[in-house]
Amino acid sequence: MTSRLQMRLILIFGVILTVAGLALLVVTLSQPVIFGWFGSTPLSPNVFAPGLNVYSTPQVMSAAVLIIGLLVLTFWTGFRVGSHRRVATGPRSPID
């Protein structure tokens, strides 16, 4: 594979991961988190505060997919910017 094709595949892969992670995150955040247990322990003054944010496993996984997709796109962007800024080296002087 050529370098140009590899970079396009990395771009497509990053975009797919980002869009899929964002879509999954929106879907999973719209669903309520259901617990089958009480939030307090017996004979303890500590009580589960209902105002806390609790994330389910699908929400965490979809956020991880989104972050990985953004990291791939960041890598791709940095590589593209860096490849355009290569310094051209001229002929070496006889002193070197």
Helix ranges, 36-95 (H)? 57-84
Predicted local distance difference test score (pLDDT) of residue 4:
85
Give the chain's residues under pLDDT 50: none
Number of helices (H) and strands (E), helices first, in the chain? 2, 0
Predicted local distance difference test score (pLDDT) of residue 38:
57
Report the distance separating Cα 60 and Cα 36, nearest Å: 19
Distance of CA 61 to CAs 26, 41, 52, 56, 68, Å? 12, 29, 20, 9, 11
Nearest to 21, CA basis, from 56, 55, 67:
67
Predicted local distance difference test score (pLDDT) of residue 2:
81
Predicted local distance difference test score (pLDDT) of residue 49:
58
pTM here is: 0.68
Give the DSSP letter of residue 52.
Answer: S
> How high does pLDDT run on average in the chain?
80
